[in-house]
């Protein structure tokens, strides 16, 4: 017993490989279906249970779709550049290239042991020159279109990793990799102009079949805010500045204005008396993160510049302050403060004894609930009195616009994507700096700009490549004079922003991909991966797709039509798996013991796919027992079919019963699998085994009918237990491969049972259950129930008061 073993895994994996069963041919018949799992990051040396939970069930889904007639494309590759390999190198002295390729080898072998139908011919590795050549090409295309640019900017700086971090890589003020407190630094950096696409990135979210939460997170991240820009003149100078406000209706309540400490205007307007205070304050502000600065509850800080601005409507003088609750990177880096209507302005005004003035017309409902709404002197807005909030906004902007002191303005929280990293293990930015010609893009025929192997990559705040003379020194492609290469490398999110395009044409040496081919295979129809990528990767990929579309390379606008996030598999203790807690599950050990199908099936049966949960050894054991039971029942079925004894040709009650369960199972498994509800699909297949086992015990069997039923069952099981099912399919004498078979169809007629079970109650207590013809009328059911021996006994000599019949379910006999 228990023939199913890892030998069977190997046997069929070899056969699949040898026959190229899963090879993808875009011209094959059947509607194309691009199924994609987020590719692996070979930072750890092994695949863990989380990888399996991503790849195994999705592979089952892809197999199911293949059997439904789709031409499935399911590639796999490695997101191989990035900080972890470099940090590992710094710790151990092992070169990132060596450790990365070694990890990839191990992971490839593990992925193959999974037996998923990955299209290995289409594999890609982002740190290979034949891939990053085209990542560099992408950079240059964006540069040509003005979508890649360089600017000096205050950036998040991790003093420990000695690198720049994007906003989204800062978590609670700390570096996402090492949690060290992040500070600010001014550096000239490369950016991608994702903000050009802010509107489209936001508006098109509603058309996607994506998890609601992820859509909401992207919306928040993009953060479109509709308001106005208002201009203030600086008293006694010809300087002026703009503020961004969503509440221009409160303009008449402005009693001071606040500039961000980084706003360049601060230096120009600060009076000599205030200079020292302001300088010190600016230094302090550098140590704060944007998140801290924005916190409502934090004690407000600030200093007066000594200078006044002129209110654009009333003409009165309002003091100009510097305060770190105003962010340099949002809006215009300046706000008009209306302490009677804004909580933060209120706290600031209270602390520094600034006037608080309430605008009569503009008290919104929300504000009346705020603690400070009664504060301040009521002031009149002159010509704008008596208007609603919305009317006041309209009228005030109109009036400002006439004087060229204001206009409507849409503002985004989204910032341009900072793509340069002062690190070694990434794709070099393909740019040359020439004293004569300035910034010169590397000509396409000189790509890739190869990453040199021998580089000192210990961090010291400079790019490691800057220390590699042979890399840095080059000649200008324009004038031929000596020039220097850019020494920063690209953020790894650039590599993963377009990989799904390259898969489909991964061997192309002429172009990153052939547009005609890509337009046929893309977009990705089903993308599955962890929810941690909701804002960065998914947003960057959408942006790159749109940019390439506008350059004429693609004819679609969204890369991932439908998205699912799998849940998280936790350790047996219910905590996140981690080596330090010693609660990790190593798939390889379990696969050795139970085979890959049992491992995969446990993941699919034991957890809701989008929920995940805690690993349980008992859980996998029970799935193992279930697979053994299937094997026993199938063994007897196959034996009966092969022996051909006690055969009959009629379809009787027993056949009808089994046929009912057959179609019932086909229907549930089809419906549930389609929705990635694997656990309920497997539960139905478990139930079916009971019906099959019962039929096998019949003294005579319709063997050709039995063969049909067993064939269907193995087809249903195949996506969930691919090796096991291929073996059973073969044992039944069927032609290789079960994955070339069409998915069984269910027959609604067989789902209508000829007989139904009815519970009979006497005074509300169930006394017996009987089978009656499903078309029997009420009178017939009543009569049959009263004739039943057990019921007769239960009634005894009591008097029947009433008989209630609920057709198809229940009869209740009331007696006294
Ligand atoms: C006056 C006002 C009165 C405001 C009021 C709000 C309420 P969202 O919705 O996030 O776009 N603001 C503008 N630029 C800022 C910056 N760089 N740093 C910090 N705060 C800034 O928020 C827009 C509002 O945030 C703007 O509207 C401005 O304050 C503030 F009763 O202007 B408001
Ligand atoms: Zn030059």
What number does the ligand 1 atom closest to the CA of 294 have?
Answer: 19
Mean pLDDT, the chain, rounded, equals 92
Which residue has the least CA distance to atom 8 on ligand 1? 225
The token pair at 292 is 């801290």
- Res. 380: pLDDT tops 70: no
In terms of domains, do 358 and 244 share one?
A: yes
Question: How many whole angstroms from 474 Cα to the centroid of ligand 1?
Answer: 48
CATH of the domain at 351: 3.90.740.10
| 711 domain residue, yes or no | yes
Determine whether the annotation assigns residue 579 to a binding site: yes
Which residue has the least CA distance to atom 14 on ligand 1? 331
In terms of domains, do 152 and 294 share one?
A: no
Q: Check residue 48 and give its pLDDT.
A: 87
Inter-residue contact 317 to 308 (CB < 8 Å): yes
In terms of domains, do 272 and 329 share one?
A: yes
Q: What angle do helix axes 49-67 and 653-674 make, rounded to 10 degrees?
A: 120
In 522-586, which ranges are continuous DSSP H helix? 537-550
Q: Check residue 378 and give its pLDDT.
A: 58
| 83 domain residue, yes or no | no
- Res. 507: pLDDT tops 50: yes
In terms of domains, do 383 and 281 share one?
A: yes
- Res. 364: pLDDT tops 80: no
- Over residues 237-251, the pLDDT tens digits come to 999 999 999 999 889
Query: Could you say which of 456, 477, 492 is where a domain stops?
Result: 492
Strand partners, 114: none
The token pair at 403 is 């004087």
> Does residue 71's CB lie within 6 angstroms of at least one atom of ligand 1?
no
Buried b (16+ CB within 10 A) or exposed e, 701-736: bbbebbbebbbbbbbbbbbbbbbbbbbbbbebebee
- Res. 130: pLDDT tops 60: yes
Q: Check residue 290 and give its pLDDT.
A: 77
Name the percent of the chain lying above pLDDT 90.
74
Q: Check residue 379 and give its pLDDT.
A: 61
Average pLDDT value for residue range 181-198: 91
- Over residues 411-429, the pLDDT tens digits come to 999 999 999 988 899 999 9
| 662 domain residue, yes or no | yes
CATH of the domain at 782: 3.10.20.590
Average pLDDT value for residue range 395-422: 94
What number does the ligand 1 atom closest to the CA of 253 have?
Answer: 3
Inter-residue contact 533 to 43 (CB < 8 Å): no
| CA 627 to mean position of chain CA atoms | 33
| 459 domain residue, yes or no | yes
In terms of domains, do 354 and 404 share one?
A: yes
Give dist(CA 73, CA 26) in Å, integer. Answer: 8
| 682 domain residue, yes or no | yes
Maximum pairwise Cα distance, the chain: 116
Average pLDDT value for residue range 780-803: 90
In terms of domains, do 369 and 250 share one?
A: yes
Question: How many whole angstroms from 342 Cα to the centroid of ligand 1?
Answer: 8
- Res. 2: pLDDT tops 50: no
- Over residues 635-673, the pLDDT tens digits come to 999 999 999 999 999 999 899 999 999 999 999 999 999
Query: Could you say which of 729, 750, 771 is where a domain stops?
Result: 750
| 592 domain residue, yes or no | no
Backbone angles phi, psi at 108, to 5 degrees: -60, -45
Domain total of the chain:
4
- Over residues 583-630, the pLDDT tens digits come to 889 899 999 999 999 999 999 999 999 999 999 999 999 999 999 999
Average pLDDT value for residue range 734-760: 90
In terms of domains, do 282 and 144 share one?
A: no
Average pLDDT value for residue range 423-443: 96
- Over residues 4-62, the pLDDT tens digits come to 566 899 999 999 999 999 999 999 999 999 999 999 888 777 888 989 999 999 999 99
Q: Check residue 191 and give its pLDDT.
A: 97
In terms of domains, do 346 and 391 share one?
A: yes
In terms of domains, do 301 and 347 share one?
A: yes
In terms of domains, do 164 and 251 share one?
A: no
Domain, as residue range, for 475: 137-192+418-492
**Who has greater pLDDT, 729 or 152?**
729
Average pLDDT value for residue range 507-525: 97
> Does residue 247's CB lie within 6 angstroms of at least one atom of ligand 1?
yes
Among 356-365, 507-516, 637-646, 759-768, the minimum mean pLDDT is found in: 356-365
Query: Could you say which of 724, 750, 776 is where a domain stops?
Result: 750
Among 624-628, 646-650, 749-753, 791-795, the minimum mean pLDDT is found in: 749-753
Q: Which ligand is nearest to the CA of 257?
A: 1
Give dist(CA 686, CA 604) in Å, integer. Answer: 13
| CA 300 to mean position of chain CA atoms | 37
Question: How many whole angstroms from 433 Cα to the centroid of ligand 2?
Answer: 8
Q: How confident is residue 210, by pLDDT bands cut at 50, 70 and 90?
A: very high
- Res. 815: pLDDT tops 80: yes
Inter-residue contact 689 to 711 (CB < 8 Å): no
- Over residues 481-498, the pLDDT tens digits come to 999 999 999 999 999 999
| 476 domain residue, yes or no | yes
| 145 domain residue, yes or no | yes
Q: How confident is residue 186, by pLDDT bands cut at 50, 70 and 90?
A: confident
**Who has greater pLDDT, 797 or 552?**
552
Q: pTM here?
A: 0.87
> Does residue 327's CB lie within 6 angstroms of at least one atom of ligand 1?
yes
Q: Check residue 1 and give its pLDDT.
A: 36
In terms of domains, do 374 and 343 share one?
A: yes
- Over residues 104-113, the pLDDT tens digits come to 999 999 999 9
- Res. 375: pLDDT tops 60: no
Give dist(CA 351, CA 358) in Å, integer. Answer: 18
Question: How many whole angstroms from 451 Cα to the centroid of ligand 2?
Answer: 22
In terms of domains, do 673 and 792 share one?
A: no
């Amino acid at each position: 017993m228990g023939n199913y073993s890892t030998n069977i895994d190997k046997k069929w994996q070899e056969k699949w490989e040898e026959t190229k069963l899963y090879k993808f041919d875009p011209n094959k018949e059947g509607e194309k279906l691009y199924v994609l799992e987020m590719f692996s990051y070979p930072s750890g040396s092994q695949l863990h249970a989380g990888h399996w939970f991503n790849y195994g069930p999705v592979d089952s889904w892809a197999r199911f779709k293949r059997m439904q007639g789709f031409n499935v494309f399911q590639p796999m590759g490695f997101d191989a550049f990035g900080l972890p390999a470099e940090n590992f190198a710094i710790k151990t002295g092992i070169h990132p290239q060596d450790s990365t390729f070694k990890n990839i080898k191990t992971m490839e072998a593990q992925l193959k042991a999974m037996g998923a139908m990955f299209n290995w011919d289409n594999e890609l590795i982002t740190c290979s020159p034949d891939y990053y050549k085209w990542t560099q090409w992408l950079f240059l295309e964006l540069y040509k279109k003005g979508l890649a640019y360089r600017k000096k900017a205050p950036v998040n700086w991790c003093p420990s990793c000695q690198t720049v971090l994007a906003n989204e890589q800062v978590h609670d003020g700390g570096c996402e990799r090492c949690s060290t407190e992040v500070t600010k630094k001014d550096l000239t950096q490369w950016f991608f102009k994702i903000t050009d696409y802010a509107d489209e990135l936001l508006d098109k979210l509603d058309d996607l079949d994506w998890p609601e939460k992820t859509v909401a997170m992207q919306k928040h991240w993009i953060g479109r805010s509709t308001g106005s820009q208002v201009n203030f003149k600086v008293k006694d100078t010809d300087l002026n500045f703009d503020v961004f406000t969503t509440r221009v209706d409160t303009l008449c309540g402005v009693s001071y204005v606040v500039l961000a400490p980084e706003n360049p205007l601060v230096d120009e307007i600060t009076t000599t008396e205030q200079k020292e205070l302001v300088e010190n304050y600016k230094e302090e502000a550098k140590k704060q993160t944007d998140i801290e600065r924005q916190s409502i509850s934090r004690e407000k800080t600030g200093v007066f510049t000594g200078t006044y601005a002129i209110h654009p409507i009333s003409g009165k003088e309002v003091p100009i302050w510097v305060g770190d609750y105003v962010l340099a990177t949002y809006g215009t880096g300046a706000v008009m403060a209306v302490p009677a209507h804004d909580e933060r302005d209120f706290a600031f005004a209270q602390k520094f004894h600034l006037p608080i003035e309430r605008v009569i017309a503009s008290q919104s409902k929300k504000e009346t609930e705020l603690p400070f709404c009664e504060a301040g002197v009521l002031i009149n807005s002159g010509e704008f009195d008596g208007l609603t909030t919305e009317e006041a906004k309209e009228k005030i902007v109109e009036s400002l616009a006439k004087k060229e002191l204001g206009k409507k303005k849409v503002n985004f929280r989204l910032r341009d994507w900072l793509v340069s990293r002062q690190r070694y293990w990434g794709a070099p930015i393909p740019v040359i700096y020439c004293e004569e010609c300035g910034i010169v893009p590397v000509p396409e025929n000189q790509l890739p700009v190869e990453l040199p192997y021998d580089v000192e990559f210990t961090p010291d705040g400079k790019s490691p490549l800057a220390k590699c003379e042979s890399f840095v020194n080059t000649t200008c492609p324009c004038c031929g004079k000596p020039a220097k290469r850019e020494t920063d490398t690209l953020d790894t999110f650039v590599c993963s922003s377009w990989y799904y395009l390259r898969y489909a044409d991964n061997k192309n040496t002429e172009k990153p991909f052939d547009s005609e081919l890509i337009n046929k295979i893309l977009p990705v129809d089903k993308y599955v991966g962890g929810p941690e990528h909701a804002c960065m990767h998914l947003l960057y990929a959408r942006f790159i797709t749109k940019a390439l579309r506008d350059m004429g390379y693609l004819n679609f606008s969204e890369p991932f039509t439908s998205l699912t996030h799998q849940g998280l598999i936790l350790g047996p203790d219910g905590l996140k798996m981690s080596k330090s807690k010693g609660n990790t599950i190593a798939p390889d050990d379990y696969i050795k013991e139970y085979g890959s199908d049992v491992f995969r099936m446990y993941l699919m049966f034991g957890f809701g796919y989008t929920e995940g949960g805690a690993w349980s050894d008992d859980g996998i054991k029970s799935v193992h027992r279930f697979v053994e039971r299937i094997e026993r029942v199938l063994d007897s079925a196959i034996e009966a079919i092969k022996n051909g004894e006690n055969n009959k040709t009629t379809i009787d009650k027993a056949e009808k019963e089994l046929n009912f369960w057959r179609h019932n199972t086909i229907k549930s498994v089809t419906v549930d699998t389609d929705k990635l509800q694997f656990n309920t699909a497997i539960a139905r297949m478990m139930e079916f085994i009971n019906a099959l086992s019962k039929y096998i015990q019949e003294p005579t069997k319709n063997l050709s009918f039995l063969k049909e039923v067993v064939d269907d069952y193995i087809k249903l099981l195949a996506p969930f237990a691919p090796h096991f099912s291929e073996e059973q399919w073969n044992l039944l004498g069927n032609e290789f491969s079960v994955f070339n078979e069409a998915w069984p169809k269910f027959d609604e007629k067989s789902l209508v049972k000829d007989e139904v079970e009815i519970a009979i109650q006497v005074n509300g207590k169930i006394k017996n259950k009987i089978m009656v013809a499903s078309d029997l009328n009420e009178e017939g059911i009543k009569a049959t129930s009263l004739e039943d021996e057990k019921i007769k006994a239960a009634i005894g000599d009591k008097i029947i008061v009433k008989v209630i019949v609920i057709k198809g379910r229940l009869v209740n006999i009331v007696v006294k």
